[in-house]
Amino acid sequence: MTTVALFVLLFVFMFLGMPVAVALGLSSLLTILFFAQDSLASLSLKLFETSEHYTLLSIPFFILGGAFMTTGGVAKRMIRFANACIGHLRGGLAMASVMACMLFAAVSGSSPATVVAVGSIVIAGMVRAGYSQPFAAGVICNAGTLGILIPPSIVMVVYGAATETSVGKLFMAGVIPGILLGLLLMVAIYVRARMIDLPKQPRATLGEVLSSGRDSLWGLLLIVIILGGIYGGVFTPTEAAAVAAVYAFVIAVFVYRDIGMRRVPHVLVDAGKVTVMLMFIVANALLFAHVLTTERI
């Protein structure tokens, strides 16, 4: 009875258009109140325990680092580098977009940030180059989801905190599947490009490849710092997130100089808003998981 009540309430609230986070929390609250033997005090205790998760501290830092990278023009430099490497192939601009999404996901940890940062630049360029708009949008939406697998994935951090799983091991487990999915998506694009004769870009010279690589080097180094630091035992995923946020700030403001100090408060506020929304979802999801656990569902 408790199981049926919990999921019926959840789906009813969602079908009524209620936000997912609110639906999760409210269905958990009503189930405990009317159908379960547990007390409401357990929910407040669970919320307090959620705030004690050391792992969740990495989420605002990864979001902040991604915000600086998105605003600071790192995505534009990664796109240029990816296009210089494989843009000469049939459908190369689309494949370069996938490669750019993989690289940016490895520095931001966020699928939405990857889609916004890369898609806002690439989709218009793909349409101008002769790609259809639905095809361009589909490529970016698919490639953006790689941010869930490629570390440092914020989704993996949330999962690790909820299930008491090592975030470092989750990151390690996501590297190869993320790369394989990206490569398979490129293969699918290449096959489709041969079928419908998609355009290709002029072959970049070695100097252009080296120039674009050097220009994007500071952003690419963040991948080495995060993954190398975690797997090398230099710091934990949470410490890696803090290092990434500081590094992204320095690169965006003082190295690339795409962000002035006057814009920094706006970036901080935007990152704070995203963090609050995400943590609200996490808290309610953990309440839902608490009901599932206590009722042995």
Q: What's residue 51's pLDDT?
A: 66
Domain boundaries, the chain: 2-53+282-294, 55-259
Q: How confident is the model over 18-30, as a mean pLDDT?
A: 85
Q: What's residue 152's pLDDT?
A: 82
22 and 8 Cβ atoms separated by less than 8 Å? no
At residue 1 the predicted structure's pLDDT band, cuts being 50, 70 and 90, is low
> Which residue do the tokens 């010279």 mark?
205
- Report CA-CA distances (Å) from 207 to 200, 204, 215, 219, 257: 19, 8, 12, 19, 24
Other beta carbons within 10 Å of 129: 17
Measured between alpha carbons, how far is 276 from 273 in angstroms, rounded to an integer? 5
Q: What's residue 297's pLDDT?
A: 66
Q: What's residue 28's pLDDT?
A: 83
The residue type at 63: I
**pLDDT tens digits, one per residue of 67-122:** 888 776 777 888 888 888 887 788 888 888 888 888 888 887 778 878 887 887 78
Q: What's residue 180's pLDDT?
A: 92
pLDDT above 70 as % of the chain: 95
Residues 6+ positions from 273 with CB-CB distance below 8 Å:
none
At residue 4 the predicted structure's pLDDT band, cuts being 50, 70 and 90, is confident
pLDDT above 90 as % of the chain: 2
Other beta carbons within 10 Å of 54: 10
**pLDDT tens digits, one per residue of 169-208:** 888 888 889 899 999 999 998 888 888 877 777 787 888 8
Measured between alpha carbons, how far is 65 from 42 in angstroms, rounded to an integer? 35
**pLDDT tens digits, one per residue of 40-67:** 677 777 777 766 677 778 888 888 888 8
> Which residue do the tokens 């259809």 mark?
132
Q: What's residue 184's pLDDT?
A: 92
Residues 6+ positions from 66 with CB-CB distance below 8 Å:
107, 108, 109, 110, 113, 248, 271
Measured between alpha carbons, how far is 138 from 185 in angstroms, rounded to an integer? 11
